[in-house]
Structure 1
């Protein structure tokens, strides 16, 4: 976005987390370098003005993209004046790279939306991560199963032995690669990163609960030990640790960066341009993916979530298998075959139909 006449650049926004517990919503987002937690309770919206009814209409089905967009616009719109006062769009300036530590430890404001005489009122209160939660990726590193069982969040634990052979980097050592990002994307979580003082690009994947980072570490570690470098899969480059925890907490993984685009993006572009993929390219990609799967399965490594978004077409026009976090996408792998060899093979057969 171009700079405005007053010298400011375009605002940036990124949703981090949305949790709902009955009639209680917690919504984290970042805008212009500041983080916000907005709590919305139905009981706080009761009263004149129809605010509660409007809120309930938005939240009847947040899986509906249109309703979700309306909900976001309603929340952000109600905070407009407040956000301008505490998180204004930055003035034009030379942009500086941001470290992972800085991105995940911004100044955070906790807010509640309330009905005050028929109008939405913004009330600020003190943010306490231990009480209100923290959307940052963090997995406690423990020595064994006993330590995991005594942890307040057993599902956010990772055994120290899993990290034993992996290069470790502090979050303050890893910075995002700007790569001419648009101003409105500057609040997005850094994905393309590098170690400060180096030029090698890496891909960062955060240790978010429920995002398969434990499985990804296991699978990628096994790939490093069992498979040749020529096999076309993503490769683990190390892990990122939080600076502020003497016992060690995992922030995320570093994966070798693949220049290119996903198969999904490639197919979409070709469709928009009215072009068909040549038969020779189809055969090449099919052979590459089949060869990679054969080697993976021979070492009891299952890909998992087979879909076009999890295949990269690299700068050499080769098909590279990525994302070993597991799960399944019903259009490609049925639930009963998730994370199985049979699921991989069925998913691969269905994947090939996407470029036919």
Structure 2
């Protein structure tokens, strides 16, 4: 995503604590949401409305106690869903599936596993969420505060005789966790600005609510920016470090380094050191990645340009001892001018693109670029075995080595030792 992913903190079950003064406390649940008035009462599904748009904001889970808490956004409201082992009644098969998700998320951290878990948990609530009344859209501007502190409802997911049963939870309404990632007194680059959620305006399309989806396009001091939420403390600190190196080594002003520029950090509140995200210069790409672009009609000249831009960018980064990290086509944007931009310096790796043992190394960068080329440009043998041929692949027959220039140029440089 350009993805943007939700935080996946492997924490144990939190205890009720006093809400920090730097963050506002959202409204608690109201009984008028779905109508039941008894805590733990089963919510009868309603099927009269289509499934609503929803997004995951946060997930907290524990591998040892098998407890999970999922925050989802829908129609300008937050819904917190809690699952624990005692919620499974005569449902060993369901519990085994649930435990497998928790273990896989903890051990592997694969985004596909997270997405499957989200869909599985939220599905039984969707018919009722479709009936929820949304707030008015004519209330003016929405800021990041609307995203962080919406009206909040507390739910539980039970499994009874292998049947999923969504229920209310009125008994335990703990203060919400402090948003963001604590980064303490990390020294930011002096050229970066610091903001609070109230000063960052969401740029919403018609029909969107201030909490119906994760904010991406925002406006700060009259300038459009891309807002990126951290998935973990490690990711955020690495990204801040990489962008700071780019600034101090002059790469941010180098037009050949096609990387969005970090302009600021958003904190949860005044005098609060929990960062809720970073602000990047906006790439006007309409969410179009290299992976998307290569599925369309692309000329040889366009491919040559993208290869040159990506390769030059990575070479200059490596010269400055900066490693890209999670190399894959989804982490390259193609803007409206058909230019390529390298994104995502949070580190990590994606299976199939970079081997775990080469994570965040220059060799990993080289391997990822090479695999990107092989994945998106089929060989003659692959095309002959395909059920259909298109003219664009016939054209590529004359110049299949274009993207291989990525890895050839990088391997020829002595400066790229791991």
Pairing 1:215–2:238 present:
yes
Deviation at 1:54, TM superposition (A): 6.6
Deviation at 1:184, TM superposition (A): 8.5
Pairing 1:349–2:356 present:
no
SS at match of 2:79: strand
Q: Residue 124 of structure 2 corresponds to which residue in structure 1?
A: 74
Pairing 1:123–2:161 present:
no
SS at match of 1:212: helix
Pairing 1:17–2:58 present:
yes
Report which structure shows greater RCO (CA 8 Å, sep ≥6). 2
**Residues 290, 66 of structure 1: alpha-carbon distance in 2 compared, 3 angstrom cutoff:** closer
Q: Residue 98 of structure 2 corresponds to which residue in structure 1?
A: 59
Deviation at 1:20, TM superposition (A): 3.8
Q: Residue 191 of structure 1 corresponds to which residue in structure 2?
A: 216
Deviation at 1:177, TM superposition (A): 0.8
Which is strand-richer, 1 or 2?
A: 1
Q: Residue 3 of structure 1 corresponds to which residue in structure 2?
A: none
Whole-Å Cα distance in 1 between the matches of residues 352 and 299 of structure 2?
A: 24
SS at match of 1:302: coil
Whole-Å Cα distance in 2 between the matches of residues 252 and 184 of structure 1?
A: 20
Whole-Å Cα distance in 2 between the matches of residues 354 and 74 of structure 1?
A: 37
Deviation at 1:75, TM superposition (A): 4.5
Residues 326 and 339 of structure 1 are in contact (CA less than 8 Å); yes or no, is this contact kept in structure 2? yes
Q: Residue 170 of structure 1 corresponds to which residue in structure 2?
A: 196
Whole-Å Cα distance in 2 between the matches of residues 340 and 115 of structure 1?
A: 44
Pairing 1:312–2:351 present:
no
Query: 1:324-339 alignment to 2 at 5 Å?
Result: 324-339=345-360
TM-score, normalised with respect to structure 1: 0.76
- What whole-Å deviation, never above 9, does each CA across 1:165-221 have from its counterpart, x for those lacking one? 4211222110111144x548961111111115x1x2101112342571111111112
Whole-Å Cα distance in 2 between the matches of residues 139 and 171 of structure 1?
A: 16
Which is helix-richer, 1 or 2?
A: 1
Whole-Å Cα distance in 2 between the matches of residues 10 and 90 of structure 1?
A: 17
In structure 2, runs of 5+ residues without a counterpart are 1-48, 102-112, 378-418
**Residues 251, 123 of structure 1: alpha-carbon distance in 2 compared, 3 angstrom cutoff:** closer
- What whole-Å deviation, never above 9, does each CA across 1:205-256 have from its counterpart, x for those lacking one? 123425711111111121123213302112111111222x425432211000
How many pairs were matched up?
309
Deviation at 1:12, TM superposition (A): 3.5
